[in-house]
Chains A and B, each alone.
Chain A
Amino acid sequence: MDLLDRYVHAVRFWLPRGQQDDITAELAEDLRSQIEEQEAKLGRKLTELEVASLLKGRGRPVFVAGRYRPQQYLIGPTLFPIYRFVLFIVALCYLLPWMLVWVSLEIFDPFYHSHVLTAMGQAWGSFWITTIVAVGIVTIVFAIIERIDYEKKFMENWDPRKLPPVRDPNRIPRFNSVFELAANGVFAVWWLNWMSSLTLLDRGGVRIVLAPAWHPYYWAMLAVALANIALAAVNLAHRYWTWRRGILRLILEIAGAIPICWLFKANILAQIVLPNLSAARATGLVNSINLNMARSFPYAVACCAIVIVLSNTFRLIRLRTKRTGIMQGAAV
């Protein structure tokens, strides 16, 4: 019976404290009855191997003991789909941008070019720390909500009239088109009136002058703005995305982002004159501004551009696969 005692003892370890004696006594009795019955059938004592086989059939001690406990979970079946959705949003809005920033640094920053392995090691380590912290915080919050008996309130306090409307992702809201028209129109007028000259400001002893490299950028941005106006006008008349207009939007997003990235790296500021600022200090200021713009702004723009391009690409895939997909907003 040594094996049987060891098995019962192992089960006992995982049982609720107050019931250990009671449950193990009953379990041992049940096992003895089964062994005796088999021995009576065979007309001999069971071998150790046969007893081991019988015990194995009962299952692992932790599993057997677990069936005597009430079902326990950190996040229950009601909250779990919301928990999973929140994790998805965290991954999309926090971890993905984090990765994009790192990829941008890899592409643009000279330090990362020259120390690839060190940079990758640091990024890999901090990515996991960031992920564990983000997932951990969300999990702890949901575990707390689970334990403060929020579920009952959550199940009762809702109003069908507050559910989000059903929307078709391929439909272009009228407001979006009108807003794009107005925003690009205002931008184009401002651009034509204020940004056409290399001398941005020349008033009250303050003078800001751009480098000649500004001209191609100026025309590129104007062309993008005008094309966006035309696209918004078409979208206002035809309120569903088509494959062609989807591609055009993607091209315009890329066409807008590339000149901005290039501009920040092109030492675009040529001269700054301020009252009480010496020429040498003014030159230093110009160099410092150009350097800082070249270091940080292209990454930020590239990150935004990647997110926008991904969103546009997703729309194209949706159009290509003919997923008309009337989607319901995330309503809980």
Chain B
Amino acid sequence: MAHSAQPASDGLFENLRLELRRGCLVLAVMAALRTEQYGYTLRKVLAEHGMAIDEGTLYPLLRRLESQGLLTSQWREEDKRNKRFYRLSPEGKLILKQLLEEWRGIDASLKDILP
């Protein structure tokens, strides 16, 4: 893997890796929220699928997606504690479908370009 090639390039690789993942995280969060979840469990689900995201990124992202009308949220009591549950809105489902098509297109293009 290029990651372990040279220590000097580790910082650069890390920046590029984060940049690459940033766009994918939106897709991953939206896809995971086809099922209703609250923040903490969403983070765990994403981590289990290899898309770990820190809470400082996740919660502002959830707010942004909600303000854009792609998510809906609801405060509800569970295990005697108030938790905020998120799920994909109808508009979010539509956008997710379009984004997944775009993603598959990018994936196919990359497979063509890469040996």
Contacts and interface: CB of A to CB of B under 8 A. Distances in A.
B56 A58 contact: yes
Contacts of B40: 29-30, 33-34
B49 interface: no
A23 B75 CA distance: 12
Q: Which of A23, A29, A68 has the most CB of B within 10 A?
A: A29
B57 interface: yes
B35 interface: no
B81 A67 contact: no
Contacts of B59: 23, 26-27, 30, 67-68
Interface residues on B, range: 10 to 19
Contacts of A224: none
A238 interface: no
B51 to A, nearest CB: 17
Interface in B38-71: 38-40, 43, 55-57, 59-60, 63
B83 interface: yes
The A interface is mostly helix, strand or loop, or mixed, namely helix
Contacts of B57: 67
A59 interface: yes
Interface in A9-40: 19, 23, 25-27, 29-30, 32-34
The B interface is mostly helix, strand or loop, or mixed, namely helix
Nearest to B41: A33
A29 B86 CA distance: 14
Interface string B11-52: 000000000000000000000000000111001000000000
A64 interface: yes
Interface in A58-85: 58-59, 63-64, 67-68
B55 A29 contact: no
Given A29-B81, A29-B83, A29-B84, A67 B60 contact: yes
Contact of A68 (B38, B60, B81, B83): B60
A23 B39 CA distance: 12
B109 interface: no
B57 to A, nearest CB: 7
Q: List 10 tightest A-B contacts by C-beta distance, closest first.
A: A33-B40, A67-B60, A68-B60, A67-B56, A26-B84, A30-B40, A30-B39, A29-B83, A30-B55, A64-B56
Interface of B: 38-40, 43, 55-57, 59-60, 63, 75, 81-84
22 contacts: A19-B63, A23-B59, A23-B63, A25-B82, A25-B84, A26-B39, A26-B59, A29-B38, A29-B39, A29-B40, A29-B83, A29-B84, A30-B39, A30-B40, A30-B55, A30-B59, A32-B81, A33-B40, A59-B56, A67-B60, A68-B59, A68-B63
Interface of A: 19, 23, 25-27, 29-30, 32-34, 58-59, 63-64, 67-68
